[in-house]
Structure 1
Amino acid sequence: MGIVRRQGLRNTVISYAGLALGFVNTVLVLPKVLEPRQIGLTSVLVALATMFAQVSAFGFGNMGVRFFPYFRQPETGHRGFLPFLLGVPLLGFGLVAAVYLAGKPLVLSWYAKDADLLREYYIWGLVLALFTLLLNLQDTYLKSLYHTAFSSFAQEIILRLLITAGALLFGGGYLNFHGYVLWYIGASSSIALLLTLYTAYIGELHLRPTRAALRVRPLGEMLSFGAFALLGNVSGVIITTIDSLMVGSKVSFDGAGIYSVAFFISTALVLPFRALYKIAFPLLADYWKDNDHARMADFYQRTTRLNTLLGCYLALGIGLNLDFIFAQMKPAYAAGATSVLILLAGRLFDGITGVNGLIVVTSPRYRYDLVFNASLAGATVLMNLLLIPRLGLTGAAVAASVAMVLINIARTWFVWHSFGLQPFDKRVPLILLLAAVAGLTAWLVPFVHSLFVTMLLRSTLLTAVYGGLLLLTNAEPQVRETMQKLLKRGAA
């Protein structure tokens, strides 16, 4: 657990700093200077770019993490792994680009209400897709090398600072909206270039292709894994982006902008989970390689307890203070408050069920993850088709949350049934009970003078009660250990 703690701590610190910057972007900057329709455009472009980037990758992100332990050999440049990792997806991107351009009339017909606005920036979505692909592949490579902190820093800090700067320039009149969109795409694209420079800096930019890369493991095995991972990844992207795309299509770009802001507020809950998963993925691959089920079982339960503890605290902190959060924006964005609460519930369940998805993907039975994702993607599209016309933004949130709950129930059962691993111990229900008590206590605080003062009182009380109960009951031993270390440092 040593490397997990070190890298996980760095990623968590970076993620929380990114959370603060994301809050500034989403609450204090973007909704103050941009109309919902304008934010809706960028969210749709990002969703389209993400979709096409995943198709282009041909599952090589997952393949890279899964098979890199067999390639790891620094003295030979890891046997040509990086050129192999980049080569096939870049060939795939050429095909995807042709489909993207040929499908322009069809895509514009889906967004008939805002077709004029989307038409102007359609080609830029392809540029964003290319750099999204490169970013994802380089992030995979750095994960495999256990160099995750800088990648997190670039994506969570630098990118958000650049987006904030662009919004401020737009708000100050130095950029028109066209200039802001180009700035946004340029900022996102520059992160991929920055990771290339970092990879060269640490001496791991090995771009010379070698035939050895095709002999480390059977090529058919790697391509087969990539093909299955592709279908799984596309299903995953559908699950996470289809709501924004369909709100933009079925409602409007205004609705997509409001939903995008609500969606981001809820993502504050998952940042500590993502920080841990970055290092968990290659670690689990090594556990499977070594057939070390005991350490995997211990890791599974520890991460579940930690995710439960942090997830409950963040979900309560966000949910109790939504009035304050939406008061910082233009009034139109408050229509997404119900969506935030529903999304928080789904994301909390996703975190509590632990790393089940990563265990399946890195296991010898990885093909079953495709069944889960493909079935769920279909169900998600169907639920969105049924619920968005009837419930609008709330329907999209319900569909997304139900999707997260269903896939995690299925995966958790599968991991337990197939490998005898389950994420829960007796401490998890206790943590949930303590969180409920702390949340109820904070919720009982009435409105005091202003939303800001009320937010401070509720947050302080939530922290004090929750933290005190955790220390008193020792529901999670790491909390007491961390507190003791901090006290020792303070005394020194």
Structure 2
Amino acid sequence: MGIVQRQGLRNTIISYIGLGLGFVNTALVLPNFLEPQQLGLTGTLSSIATLYAQVAAFGFASVGIRFFPYFRNPEARHHGFLPLLLGVPLLGFVVVTALYFVGEPLMLHWYADDATLLQPYYAWGAVLALFMLLYSLQDAYLKGLYHTAVSSFIQDILQRLLIVAGALLYACGVLPFSGYVVWYVGVNGTISLLLTGYLAYLKELHLRPTRAALQIKPLRELLSMGGFTLLGTLSGTIIMNIDMLMVGAQVNLTAAGIYGVAANISTALAIPARSLNKIAFPLLADYWKQQDLPRMADFYRRTTLLNTAIGCYLALGIGLNIDFIYSLMKTRYAEGAFVVLLLLGSRLFDSITGVNGLIVVTSPRYRYDLIFNTSLSILTVALNWILIPKLGISGAAVAAVIAQVSINVARTWFVWYSYRLQPFTWRIPLVLGIAAAAALAAWLVPLLHSLLLTMLIRSVVLTAVYGVLLLLTRAVPEVNGLVQNLARKLRS
């Protein structure tokens, strides 16, 4: 087994563990240790730092992956690639940091109701952004070296465990809240330092700059590619973080904390799609290379059907048991229950429309993906700006639903119009009908004296009705195939 296969297998295992751990920690564990306002503060700092680091990096994390093969030469220390990869973003960080501190009065003005809470930690946002920047650049360098498993473990598992450890120290009275914030920032510094140590261990920490780095690829070409990439990655980052920031600014940090937990609960629906995308991306790229549109069409339909079946089951499992989930947290967080239901609908629609975004980004018309991402980020900001003052945290969720539905309809139409590919078959409405029947059966289970017992019975009914109907109707052939394979193994 080659290094790429070994790293891919390790990354898959780490990714599943990390996604599950992330859901449990951010949706269930941290809300028991921290108040909504405290989670809102740390979430806001993290979102600010993420945008900050993206702008400073100027797309060089992606540039590093794209252009490293031209520099690869272990004997020549990769022609000074690492100092170049770090140097331009660090110069960008100096510029963005100056703007960040000059803009402090304006930023705090946006958070007028909570400015006194945010101000003592404002400088820590810059430190956090620096650590995030360094981590992303070193991670990109390691990807170019085909050493990704360690960085995945550090980010997906170790970082999450360390953050929970800090929250536990706060809950036990060992740390004050200010100490927890410093711990949170320090965790990001720790994982960045661990990557530096890992590079040194691999004997790939080449920090001496050379002129050869500017001769292999002109700096202008790197900056041009970086600028294009920045627009795409920044749009994605805005889409992922702007609702949290705008809830904090237009309502308060407490509302941001409640909204953040609700958003984290709904991310359980995205876990299968994220895992699928890691496989789908290289497959779709290969189909485009071979111009094999029939196989791409088949893959598009089959993955959409599978995503719909899994997405419906997870959405119903969470939605029907939302009271039990919130019973595991502090009472105040339950204000986000309706937000969870809205966001589940948004993510489910994303599943039902399939891998349209990946088809666009791997296609010859990949530049249109930038148009879609930019349009989505603008639409998301505008809708949040209009709806949050009127509806509070529910407004942010409604904005997410409208934006997600709109962009997926546009992408699906674009893929059909450009390449005559569409993901829908008669099996999709059949799966939706089965999901509705299973939901009704589980919903008819009366509320018992114990929310835990209610959750268990509803989950059993949902699973039984949904599973049996899927098998009897053969709505998803892959499910029948899986069951038959398991039955054969059991018989043998």
The normalised TM-score by structure 1 is 0.87
Alignment of 1:151-170 (within 5 A): 151-170=151-170
Question: Are the structure 2 counterparts of residues 151 and 109 from structure 1 closer, same or farther at C-alpha, using a change threshold of 3 Å?
Answer: same
In 2: Cα distance, 1:320 partner to 1:213 partner: 57
- Which residue of structure 1 aligns with residue 231 of structure 2? 231
Question: Are the structure 2 counterparts of residues 100 and 428 from structure 1 closer, same or farther at C-alpha, using a change threshold of 3 Å?
Answer: same
1:120 counterpart = 2:120:
yes
Amino acid at match of 2:29: V
Amino acid at match of 1:233: T
Number of matched pairs:
491
Higher mean C-alpha deviation, range 253-262 or range 91-100? 91-100
Structure 1 residue 142 displacement after superposition: 5.3
Amino acid at match of 2:184: Y
Structure 1 residue 469 displacement after superposition: 3.0
Amino acid at match of 2:42: T
In 1: Cα distance, 2:312 partner to 2:133 partner: 33
Identity %: 66
Structure 1 residue 485 displacement after superposition: 4.5
- Which residue of structure 2 aligns with residue 135 of structure 1? 135
Alignment of 1:458-477 (within 5 A): 458-477=458-477
Cα RMSD after superposing both structures:
3.4
Question: Are the structure 2 counterparts of residues 269 and 109 from structure 1 closer, same or farther at C-alpha, using a change threshold of 3 Å?
Answer: same
Structure 1 residue 380 displacement after superposition: 1.7
In 1: Cα distance, 2:258 partner to 2:429 partner: 35
Question: Are the structure 2 counterparts of residues 426 and 153 from structure 1 closer, same or farther at C-alpha, using a change threshold of 3 Å?
Answer: farther
1:373 counterpart = 2:390:
no
Structure 1 residue 414 displacement after superposition: 1.9
- Which residue of structure 2 aligns with residue 305 of structure 1? 305
- Which residue of structure 2 aligns with residue 346 of structure 1? 346
Tell me, yes or no, if the aligned pair for 1:346 and 1:400 is still in contact at 8 Å. Answer: yes
Amino acid at match of 2:465: V
- Which residue of structure 2 aligns with residue 419 of structure 1? 419
Q: Residues 2-46 of structure 1, C-alpha deviation per residue, up to 9 Å, x if partnerless?
A: 999998876565445335433443454322222111111001101
1:252 counterpart = 2:252:
yes
Q: Residues 356-377 of structure 1, C-alpha deviation per residue, up to 9 Å, x if partnerless?
A: 2233334443332222222222
Unaligned 5+ segments in structure 1 are none
Higher mean C-alpha deviation, range 11-20 or range 112-121? 11-20
Alignment of 1:310-349 (within 5 A): 310-349=310-349
- Which residue of structure 2 aligns with residue 108 of structure 1? 108
In 1: Cα distance, 2:5 partner to 2:440 partner: 32
Question: Are the structure 2 counterparts of residues 72 and 406 from structure 1 closer, same or farther at C-alpha, using a change threshold of 3 Å?
Answer: farther
Question: Are the structure 2 counterparts of residues 169 and 226 from structure 1 closer, same or farther at C-alpha, using a change threshold of 3 Å?
Answer: same
In 2: Cα distance, 1:489 partner to 1:217 partner: 55
Question: Are the structure 2 counterparts of residues 479 and 62 from structure 1 closer, same or farther at C-alpha, using a change threshold of 3 Å?
Answer: farther
Q: Residues 404-462 of structure 1, C-alpha deviation per residue, up to 9 Å, x if partnerless?
A: 22122222222232334333344433333333332222222211231001111112222
Say which SS state the counterpart of residue 269 (structure 2) adopts: coil
Say which SS state the counterpart of residue 121 (structure 1) adopts: helix
Tell me, yes or no, if the aligned pair for 1:12 and 1:276 is still in contact at 8 Å. Answer: no
In 1: Cα distance, 2:189 partner to 2:354 partner: 31
Question: Are the structure 2 counterparts of residues 159 and 378 from structure 1 closer, same or farther at C-alpha, using a change threshold of 3 Å?
Answer: same
Larger Rg: 2
In 1: Cα distance, 2:374 partner to 2:96 partner: 20
In 2: Cα distance, 1:384 partner to 1:402 partner: 10
The normalised TM-score by structure 2 is 0.87
Tell me, yes or no, if the aligned pair for 2:27 and 2:262 is still in contact at 8 Å. Answer: no
- Which residue of structure 1 aligns with residue 390 of structure 2? 390
Question: Are the structure 2 counterparts of residues 444 and 123 from structure 1 closer, same or farther at C-alpha, using a change threshold of 3 Å?
Answer: same
Say which SS state the counterpart of residue 270 (structure 1) adopts: helix
Tell me, yes or no, if the aligned pair for 1:4 and 1:279 is still in contact at 8 Å. Answer: no
- Which residue of structure 2 aligns with residue 271 of structure 1? 271
Say which SS state the counterpart of residue 325 (structure 1) adopts: helix
In 2: Cα distance, 1:40 partner to 1:199 partner: 34
Q: Residues 244-276 of structure 1, C-alpha deviation per residue, up to 9 Å, x if partnerless?
A: 111111111111111111111111211222233
Higher mean C-alpha deviation, range 433-442 or range 448-457? 433-442
- Which residue of structure 1 aligns with residue 409 of structure 2? 409
- Which residue of structure 2 aligns with residue 434 of structure 1? 434
Question: Are the structure 2 counterparts of residues 116 and 471 from structure 1 closer, same or farther at C-alpha, using a change threshold of 3 Å?
Answer: same
Higher mean C-alpha deviation, range 177-186 or range 269-278? 269-278
Say which SS state the counterpart of residue 277 (structure 1) adopts: helix
Tell me, yes or no, if the aligned pair for 1:313 and 1:435 is still in contact at 8 Å. Answer: yes
Higher mean C-alpha deviation, range 46-55 or range 235-244? 235-244
In 1: Cα distance, 2:201 partner to 2:480 partner: 39
In 1: Cα distance, 2:441 partner to 2:473 partner: 18
